[in-house]
Amino acid sequence: MTSQLDPNVMAKVTSWLNGDYDIDTKQSIQQLIDEANDTELTDAFYKDLEFGTGGLRGLIGIGSNRMNRYTVGTATQGLANYLNKAFPNEEKKVAIAYDSRIKSDEFAKIIAEIFSANGITVYLFEALRPTPELSFAIRLLGCKSGVVVTASHNPKEYNGYKAYWDDGSQVVAPHDTNIIGEVNAIKSIDDVKFDGDSSKIHKIGAEVDEKYMDHILSLSISKDAIARQKDLKIVYTPLHGTGVTLVPTLLGKMGFEAVTVIEEQAEPKGNGQFPTVVYPNPEESEAMSKAVARAKEIDADLVLGTDPDADRVGIAVKNHHGEIQLLNGNQTASVLIYYLLNAWKDAGKLTGTQFVCKTIVTTDLIDKMAAAYDVKCYNTLTGFKYIAQVIREKEGVEQFIGGGEESYGYLIGDAVRDKDAIASCAMIAELTAYAKDKGLSLFDMLMEIYKQFGFYYEGLISLTKKGKSGADEIQQMMADFRANPPKTLAGSPVIRMDDYKALTTVDFTSGTTHSIPSGEMGIEPSNVLQFFTEDGTKFTCRPSGTEPKIKFYVGVRAALERNEDFDSVYDSLKEKVKGIGEELGLK
Q: Which fold has domain 455-584?
A: TATA-Binding Protein (3.30.310)
Domains 211-453 and 455-584 share a fold: no
Q: Where are the domains of the chain?
A: 47-204, 211-453, 455-584
How would you classify the pairing of strands 399-405 and 409-412?
Answer: antiparallel
Q: Higher pLDDT residue, 446 or 467?
A: 446
Please name which of 171, 84, 165, 70 lies closest in space to residue 121, comparing C-alpha atoms: 84
Query: How far apart (Å, rounded) are the C-alpha atoms in residues 572 and 412?
Result: 33
Active-site positions read: 152
**What integer is the mean pLDDT of 369-390?**
96
- The answer, yes or no, to whether residue 546 has pLDDT greater than 70, is no
List, for residues 236-284, the tens digit of each pLDDT value: 999 999 999 999 999 999 999 999 999 999 987 656 899 999 999 999 9
Q: What is the pLDDT of residue 583?
A: 96
Average pLDDT score, the chain: 95
Q: What is the pLDDT of residue 184?
A: 92
Contacts of 31 (CB under 8 A, 6+ apart): none
- The answer, yes or no, to whether residue 382 has pLDDT greater than 70, is yes
Question: Rounded to the nearest 5°, which phi and psi values hold at 281?
Answer: -125, 115
**What integer is the mean pLDDT of 95-107?**
97
- The answer, yes or no, to whether residue 52 has pLDDT greater than 90, is no
CA distance to 212, 320, 321, 323, 394, per residue, from 564 (Å): 43, 9, 11, 16, 42
- The answer, yes or no, to whether residue 2 has pLDDT greater than 80, is no
For residue 466, name the pLDDT band (cuts at 50, 70, 90).
confident
How would you classify the pairing of strands 121-125 and 234-237?
Answer: unpaired
For residue 1, name the pLDDT band (cuts at 50, 70, 90).
low
List, for residues 338-360, the tens digit of each pLDDT value: 999 999 999 999 999 999 999 99
Multiple choice CATH, 47-204, 2.40.30.10, 3.40.50.300, 1.20.1250.20, 3.40.120.10: 3.40.120.10
Task: Give residue 18's identity as a one-letter amino acid code.
Answer: N
Spatial contact of 558 and 573, defined as CB atoms under 8 Å apart: yes
For CA atoms 292, 294, 299, 301, give the dihedral sign: negative
For residue 454, name the pLDDT band (cuts at 50, 70, 90).
very high
Q: Over pLDDT 70: what percentage of the chain?
A: 99
List, for residues 153-179, the tens digit of each pLDDT value: 888 999 999 999 999 999 988 999 999
Spatial contact of 131 and 309, defined as CB atoms under 8 Å apart: yes
- Tell me the three state secondary structure of residue 270: coil
- The answer, yes or no, to whether residue 295 has pLDDT greater than 80, is yes
Specify the CATH class of 211-453 in words. Answer: alpha beta
Q: Higher pLDDT residue, 467 or 11?
A: 11
For residue 521, name the pLDDT band (cuts at 50, 70, 90).
confident
Q: What is the pLDDT of residue 519?
A: 77
Q: Over pLDDT 90: what percentage of the chain?
A: 91
**What integer is the mean pLDDT of 291-311?**
98
Q: What is the pLDDT of residue 269?
A: 61
List, for residues 128-141, the tens digit of each pLDDT value: 999 999 999 999 99
Task: Give residue 246's identity as a one-letter amino acid code.
Answer: L
List, for residues 12-38, the tens digit of each pLDDT value: 999 999 999 999 999 999 999 999 899
For residue 50, name the pLDDT band (cuts at 50, 70, 90).
confident
Q: Model-level pTM?
A: 0.96
Please name which of 239, 238, 214, 256 lies closest in space to residue 428, comparing C-alpha atoms: 256
Spatial contact of 66 and 58, defined as CB atoms under 8 Å apart: yes
Spatial contact of 329 and 407, defined as CB atoms under 8 Å apart: yes
